[in-house]
Amino acid sequence: MDKKNSKPTASGSSSTTSKPNKLSSSSAGTTTVEEWIKTIPNIKGVYTQIEPICDALRIDGENCDRAMISISFNGIDPLFMYTQLLKETFLEMDDDDDKSIKEFVDYCRLQGGINANHIDKIEKEYRLHTPIWWYTGPFFMYSMLNHALRQMDIDIILKMGFFIRHLHQYIENLHREQESINTTTNTPFQVFRGQSLSLENFEKMKKIKGGLMSFNNFLSTSRNQNVSLELFARPADPDSVGILFEMTIDPTLCATSSSPFVGVKNVGFFEDQEEEILFTTHTVFRIDGIKPIDEDNTDQRWEVKLTLVSNDNHELNTLTTHIRQELGSTTGWSRLGNILIQL
């Protein structure tokens, strides 16, 4: 490992970043930690205890994963179309889950950079926990799935088809259960998501203000605005900006479309410190407004206001509907084969 320029990895392992010869004890009297962080990109903070360092590395790892999430904008987007069709096909399949899990862990063991203990844990304990527990835990499922859907890595998508099915179905069932318990779920509410966004995607977003965007992965959000802003709404590098998405959710739309969401309290890995709300894939929003978070905007952070729309009738779905009709009545592996032929 190169200790001079190391960073958190998608596999879940982390390391610290050091900047030799940039800081000396003599500079500590005149230069504050805040100035170091602003002027030296590799410095994220100064810590004197191990627990805060571990927390900071976990957050940096999550920031990397959040920046990898797949986003589609107005118009014909093949990524939205094909990932949506693949998900629908996985939901129709009635596979041997034990066989699928075994094939998945065997595949993971052949890959480099994946924690072997985590692979063993999935093989032995997969059915002992909820799909949300695995997705929100400090394992590689979240990172691997985000990467696969963003890059259209068909090998990984096929190997994780069982997990996509399990996670969506669990969200769908839990959404109905939570709705039946909470009598106020029809009241619109706000959730937040902080992440880094490439300048390229940010420019696309600004050009289609009033248009639509879709998150093509399972979407993690929080009711806690401060957590989303302070921990995650930061640029990852000079070619990106920090984004705080403020999303207005009308639960009645979720009831009539295929965009269920759930609160992960009591079913997620962590004790819901972030008040997390998890949406299924391909949740579509209208872009209502974009403005800098700070007046001088020196830190390149922006607030983007979004409103949930029904994902059953909009331009992002037009071509998907056409291809779906072309596929006809085929189901299961036959339908999957036809989709892969068109990729």
- Residue, of 28 and 199, whose pLDDT is higher: 199
**Nearest to 306, CA basis, from 199, 164, 197:** 197
- Residue, of 276 and 313, whose pLDDT is higher: 276
* Predicted pLDDT at 120: 97
* CA distance readout (Å), 196 to 20, 21, 87, 178, 231: 27, 29, 26, 31, 11
pLDDT digits 0-9 by tens, 32-70? 666 665 555 556 666 677 776 666 665 665 555 555 566
Answer yes or no: are the C-beta atoms of 124 and 256 closer than 8 Å.
no
- Residue, of 258 and 4, whose pLDDT is higher: 258
Compute the distance between CA of residue 145 and CA of residue 100 in angstroms, rounded to an integer. 15
Compute the distance between CA of residue 205 and CA of residue 11 in angstroms, rounded to an integer. 30
Residue 265 has, within 13 A of its CA and on its CB side, a CA count of 8
Model confidence at 240: pLDDT above 50: yes
Answer yes or no: are the C-beta atoms of 191 and 247 closer than 8 Å.
yes
Residue 326 tokens, joined: 């072309």
Domain residue ranges in the chain: 79-179, 183-317
How would residue 18 be classed by pLDDT, with cut points 50, 70 and 90?
A: very low
Mean of pLDDT values over 115-129: 96
Contact residues for 294 (Cβ-Cβ < 8 A; gap 6+): 301
Note the CATH number of domain 183-317.
3.90.176.10
Cβ-count burial 159-179 (b if 16+ within 10 Å, e if not): bbbbbbbbbbebbeebbeeeb
What percent of the chain lies above the pLDDT cut of 90? 39
